[in-house]
Structure 1
Amino acid sequence: MSITTISSRDFNQDTSGAKKAAQNGPVYITDRGRPAHVLLCMEEYQRLTGLNASIVDLLVMPEPAVEFEPERAVITPRPVDF
């Protein structure tokens, strides 16, 4: 994976080149020398955001599993007041 950095002016003049570079890794688009945007291919975007994950993948407990042992509830009866 390679990271490419281009200015917003170069991006406007060669959008297809930026899209081709995004197939190999993220493309940083700069405004006045500072990173302002990132161009990613759709597969990488979906992998990062988890948009293509199934509900089962989203609900899986990450490792290590959390140990949980709740305290036993103590219920004491009270006299009924009518």
Structure 2
Amino acid sequence: MQITTLSGQEFNRDSSGARRAAQNGPVFITDRGRPAHVLLAIEEYQRLAGPRASIAELLAMPGGEDLEFEAPRFEPVFPPADLS
């Protein structure tokens, strides 16, 4: 894995080069000399993020019945229509 570091200006000048570099490893993009963003190939991101589970799958897991979950209350966007 090759790590590449680019300044924000370098990234703006050659974003296609940054995308090519991301195929070989992470590309750190700096802002005023400090790391601010990381560009990854989608496959690497998906590997790091892991599989996504639905709420049904999470609740079906052993111990899922002990999960605390409170759904947000629905607040109407518009007041009820006055039909009088």
TM (norm. structure 2) is 0.61
1:16 equivalenced with 2:13 (yes/no): no
How far apart, in 2, do the equivalents of 1:50 and 1:9 lie? 32
How far apart, in 2, do the equivalents of 1:11 and 1:30 lie? 9
How far apart, in 2, do the equivalents of 1:35 and 1:46 lie? 22
How far apart, in 2, do the equivalents of 1:52 and 1:17 lie? 30
CA RMSD, 1 decimal? 2.2
TM (norm. structure 1) is 0.62
Shift of 1:52: 6.6
SS at match of 1:12: helix
Shift of 1:42: 0.2
Question: Number of paired residues?
Answer: 57
Larger radius of gyration: 1
The letter of the residue matching 2:51 is L
The letter of the residue matching 2:30 is T
Look up the match of 1:79. none
SS at match of 1:35: strand
Look up the match of 1:2. 2
1:15–1:50 CA distance, 2 compared to 1 (3 A): same
